Chains A and B, each alone.
Chain A
Amino acid sequence: MFKFLVNPNKFNKFADIILKPLVIITLLTLIAGLLLVYLSPLDYQQGLTVKIMYIHVPSAWLALLTYAIMTIYSIIGLAFKIPFSFIINKAIAPIGAVFTILCLFSGSMWGKPMWGTWWVWDARLTSVAILFILYLLIIFLNHTFENREVREKTIAIFILIGSINLPIIKFSVDWWNTLHQPASISKLSSPSIDISMLQPLLVMTVAFSLVGLIIAILRIKAEILMRKNYL
């Protein structure tokens, strides 16, 4: 059933079926999310700037999620020798980089009115900046080696070593005293965010991940065609 996750041909067929409905669903979710964000209440302290959250938080989650997916696919690719996982690693690294820079940029825009500074050397901010450098290094490595096998495996091992950064980002707000607030939404406890703000946030998260998914599908399809010498 889940063969399309590791087999390029099955993935192509699956992507052809799913792409058009996915675009429609994404458009609907994005419009609904933007409407919900427009209608959502203002914060009693932060005012209008709280609406930056609806971009900042989903892009931060997706930046982490993209790296986690790359880590899982690197393990699969190295352990079971499945070349499709290296295609995915190459295809989704720029998407993760874009989400990370979006997160950093929107956080900077939010930090200026709230904290009074564009940038502080805080544990959360610094570790996300390091995540961005990791993404950039992965993209550079994609253009470095001539031999394809060497390139792919090198990138996979590099991703595995760099995944030390993920738990650091996740727990940085708990381990160190940071200016950045701790997570409002966690699985173990009830969210400390009001329901009227939680709804648009979740819808925006779904919309962002669907947009990322569409770009990922297109990039993976292009990469498969390139490997087959069609492009």
Chain B
Amino acid sequence: MGLIKKIFFFFKRELNLFYSNIADLFSNILFFFLSIFIFVFALGADEQFLKNIGVGIIWSLLLLSSTLSLRKFYEDDFNNGVIKIIHMSGISYELIVFLKIMSHFFFVQIPFLISIPIACIFFNLPINEVYNLILTFIIGSLILSCLGSISASMNLLNKTNFSIGSLIVLLFFIPVIIFSIGINNSEASFSSLINLLLGIALIFLGISPWSSASFIKLAIRNK
């Protein structure tokens, strides 16, 4: 069986898993909207004020709601041995991690995009900020998938302290938040910030397969 065919079957399996776990995605989106409501109730419904802080709130809540489901990233596949079986069929762990990141990006983060325009309506954001938000979210969610892969593979053998995985994601996501919010700033140049974001995405696409694969190898050896 050729490599392309194996990758095709991998994505087919991920798609089936996505359909069977679709309630998980909807509960994440629901968490996102509920926390927006809670923010509005806590801060008061002043329109101008909400317009100023809207992008920041949406970005932080997007980040928090995506860290909710990160524990599931490798755990099921690791516990029922699917990762080992895929590796036996001749795909290296690094490629498995890369494919997993891609499938997480396409099946979990991209569907999340539908919630962003609706959330922007609640804050009365101007249309160019909505465009910027969607553009930065597409790049930022790729970085988020890479970080999620690193922290989830790190936590495979962690039986006691699960919150440390979310801490790592939040910590390394700080520069992405800075540059994504800075894009709405009129002084900063648009293309340079987009280039910076793409550069960060490239760095994490480079290091996350290597580091996650070494964590997974370590976990499989010591299971």
Instruction: Specify which chain A residues have a CB less than 8 angstroms from the CB of B214 in the assembled complex.
Output: 153, 157
Q: Which of A141, A143, A147, A154 has the most CB of B within 10 A?
A: A154
Q: Shortest beta-carbon distance, A9 to chain B, in Å?
A: 27
Indicate if A226 sits at the interface (CB-CB under 8 A).
no
Q: Shortest beta-carbon distance, B148 to chain A, in Å?
A: 14
The tally of CB-CB contacts under 8 A between chains A and B is 45
B160 and A137 form a contact (CB under 8 A): no
When the two chains form the complex, which single residue of A140, A145, A157 contacts B157, counting CB atoms closer than 8 Å? Answer: A145
| Selected interface stretch from B36-44, B108-116, B165-173 | B165-173
B164 and A144 form a contact (CB under 8 A): yes
Give complex CA distance A147, B221 in Å: 11
Q: Shortest beta-carbon distance, A160 to chain B, in Å?
A: 8
Indicate if A158 sits at the interface (CB-CB under 8 A).
yes
Instruction: Specify which chain B residues have a CB less than 8 angstroms from the CB of A153 in the assembled complex.
Output: 214, 218
Interface size class of B (residues with CB under 8 A): 20 to 34
Q: Mark B172-208, 1 if CB is under 8 A from A, else 0.
A: 1010000000000000000000000000000100010
Q: When A130-B174, A157-B214, A161-B172 are in contact, do A144 and B207 touch as well, CB less than 8 Å?
A: no
Instruction: Specify which chain A residues have a CB less than 8 angstroms from the CB of B207 in the assembled complex.
Output: 161
Indicate if A149 sits at the interface (CB-CB under 8 A).
yes
Q: Mark B124-164, 1 if CB is under 8 A from A, else 0.
A: 00000000000000000000000000100010011111001
B218 and A154 form a contact (CB under 8 A): yes
Q: Shortest beta-carbon distance, A53 to chain B, in Å?
A: 28
Indicate if B20 sits at the interface (CB-CB under 8 A).
no
Give complex CA distance A158, B151 in Å: 10
Indicate if A17 sits at the interface (CB-CB under 8 A).
no
Number of chain A residues whose Cβ lies closer than 8 Å to a Cβ of chain B? 20
Give complex CA distance A146, B219 in Å: 12
B154 and A158 form a contact (CB under 8 A): yes
Indicate if B74 sits at the interface (CB-CB under 8 A).
no
Instruction: Specify which chain A residues have a CB less than 8 angstroms from the CB of B150 in the assembled complex.
Output: 161
Indicate if B222 sits at the interface (CB-CB under 8 A).
yes
Indicate if A150 sits at the interface (CB-CB under 8 A).
yes
Q: Mark A113-145, 1 if CB is under 8 A from B, else 0.
A: 000000000000000001001100100110111
Give complex CA distance A141, B174 in Å: 20
Indicate if B215 sits at the interface (CB-CB under 8 A).
yes
Give complex CA distance A149, B221 in Å: 10
Indicate if B211 sits at the interface (CB-CB under 8 A).
yes
B222 and A154 form a contact (CB under 8 A): no
Instruction: Specify which chain B residues have a CB less than 8 angstroms from the CB of A146 in the assembled complex.
Output: 157, 159
When the two chains form the complex, which single residue of B172, B211, B222 contacts A150, counting CB atoms closer than 8 Å? Answer: B222
Give complex CA distance A58, B44 in Å: 47
- Interface positions of A (Cβ within 8 A of B): 130, 133-134, 137, 140-141, 143-147, 149-150, 153-154, 157-158, 160-161, 164
User: Can you give 29 A-B contacts (C-beta < 8 A)?
Assistant: A130-B174, A133-B171, A137-B164, A137-B168, A137-B171, A140-B161, A140-B164, A143-B161, A144-B158, A144-B160, A144-B161, A144-B164, A145-B157, A146-B157, A146-B159, A149-B222, A150-B219, A150-B222, A153-B218, A154-B154, A154-B215, A154-B218, A157-B154, A157-B214, A157-B215, A158-B154, A160-B211, A161-B207, A161-B211
